[in-house]
Amino acid sequence: MAGRELKALFRAYREGDELAFRRAAQEIVEEEEAKNHVALARDLRALLAGGGARSAVAPGVTLPEPPKDREGEWPLAQVRHAERGLDDLVLDGALVERLRTLAEEYRRWEEIDRRGIPRRQRILFHGPPGCGKTSAAEAVATEVGLPLVVVRIDAVVSSYLGETASNLHRIFDFVGQGSWVLLFDEFDALGKARDDPTEHGEVKRVITAFLQMLDAFRGPSLLIAATNHEHLLDPALWRRFDDVLEFPRATVHQSRKLLRSRLRAVKHQRLDIDASASRLKGKPHAAVEKVAWDAIRFAVLADRDVVQQSDLDRAINDALARPW
């Protein structure tokens, strides 16, 4: 193990520099791999990835600053510690299994690499709003113990010609320096030019640049792109992803489970959870969760510490009266 990398590791620790730490650690792992120290390299990689721990990155550790736009004004991404885990979500069992497998696979990429088959590294989440795409991306980051880099599409899309593609480059360059879960949330907005909707040439250039960066995406990070508007996606995009996961609206069974889970922490009396969940049929999980929060709110405002069915009914009426 080279002294230079060890020094970099120690310096990064002293300065609480997560990015420098990961870069040095990554180099050490690669060096051990090159020396054919397979077991050691695998163990180090697992340690770096968190090995299934809730978070490998201590919340106290300072995360690096994300890149900014050309004027140095707007951060192009937000870097943060993931907090929610898969257990906080109510999703179809098969979907949870696929998400867990993805995390497990990440931890064992080396074995996948050794067999010469491609990794699943670029994942697309799609489905209606409020059904857990953003939350699941965060949960995957928690599972693999990596910090989350959430791209700020609004800051990335620039009215200057060519600048959107440059911003994308800045993000991919930054991400190339460490291991992260890189989240392009609502990334279909990349396909919209900011000021001039007639500027089709620029939109095409941005999509082409994004596709190239997606194709070239390697290294120790996972990329997740999420969209509520799969019908807007360029057909060339779908096959660029190594896997595509759909997040459908809550089933009645899931709504029941979600209501129970969110009302567990409060006192309640004679609630008809089954009937309430049935009334919420076809709604997204976010709506169901809000119903639980609203019902608790109504009880608080009525100076009761017990949630009643009338609170739940009122919350459901509100949820059914608004768009989701």
Ligand X SMILES: Nc1ncnc2c1ncn2[C@@H]1O[C@H](COP(=O)(O)OP(=O)(O)O)[C@@H](O)[C@H]1O
Interacting residues with ligand X (CB under 6 A): 89-91, 129-135, 226, 247, 258, 285-286, 289
- Residue 307's alpha-carbon distances to 29, 264, 275, 285, 292, in angstroms, are 54, 11, 16, 20, 10
The tokens describing 153, both together, are 């599409």
Closest to Mg ion by CB, 28 or 222? 222
Closest to ligand X by CB, 12 or 225? 225
- Closest distance between Mg ion and the C-beta of residue 226, in Å? 6
For residue 137, give the nearest of 147, 36, 72, 58 by alpha carbon. 147
- Closest residue to Mg ion in the complex (CB): 134
Closest to ligand X by CB, 89 or 277? 89
User: Token pair 């040439």 is at which residue?
Assistant: 201
In whole angstroms, what is the distance from residue 289 CA to residue 279 CA?
Answer: 14
Closest to ligand X by CB, 193 or 225? 225
The tokens describing 19, both together, are 């990015």
- Closest distance between ligand X and the C-beta of residue 294, in Å? 13
* 55, 134, 167, 179: which one binds Mg ion (CB under 5 A): 134
- Closest residue to ligand X in the complex (CB): 132
Closest to Mg ion by CB, 134 or 221? 134
- Closest distance between ligand X and the C-beta of residue 90, in Å? 4
135 interacts with Mg ion by CB under 5 A = no
- Residue 98's alpha-carbon distances to 107, 191, 239, in angstroms, are 14, 28, 18
**What residue 247 binds from ligand X, Mg ion, none (CB within 5 to 8 A, per partner kind)?**
ligand X
Do residues 248 and 85 touch, judged by C-beta distance below 8 A? no
Closest to ligand X by CB, 268 or 285? 285
- Closest distance between ligand X and the C-beta of residue 230, in Å? 12
User: Token pair 């120790």 is at which residue?
Assistant: 220
Which listed range, 78-86, 125-133, 272-280, 291-299, lies at the site for Mg ion (CB under 5 A)? 125-133
**What residue 12 binds from Mg ion, ligand X, none (CB within 5 to 8 A, per partner kind)?**
none
**What residue 132 binds from ligand X, Mg ion, none (CB within 5 to 8 A, per partner kind)?**
ligand X
What letter represents residue 17's amino acid?
D
**What ranges make up the beta strands (E) of 103-216?**
122-126, 148-151, 181-184
For residue 237, give the nearest of 194, 159, 184 by alpha carbon. 184
- Residue 167's alpha-carbon distances to 135, 190, 216, 217, in angstroms, are 25, 11, 16, 16
The tokens describing 182, both together, are 């890189």
**What residue 41 binds from ligand X, Mg ion, none (CB within 5 to 8 A, per partner kind)?**
none
- Closest distance between ligand X and the C-beta of residue 231, in Å? 16
**What residue 90 binds from ligand X, Mg ion, none (CB within 5 to 8 A, per partner kind)?**
ligand X
Closest to ligand X by CB, 52 or 129? 129
Q: What is the DSSP letter of 129?
A: T
In whole angstroms, what is the distance from residue 102 CA to residue 85 CA?
Answer: 14
Residues lying near Mg ion in the complex (CB under 5 A) are found at 133-134
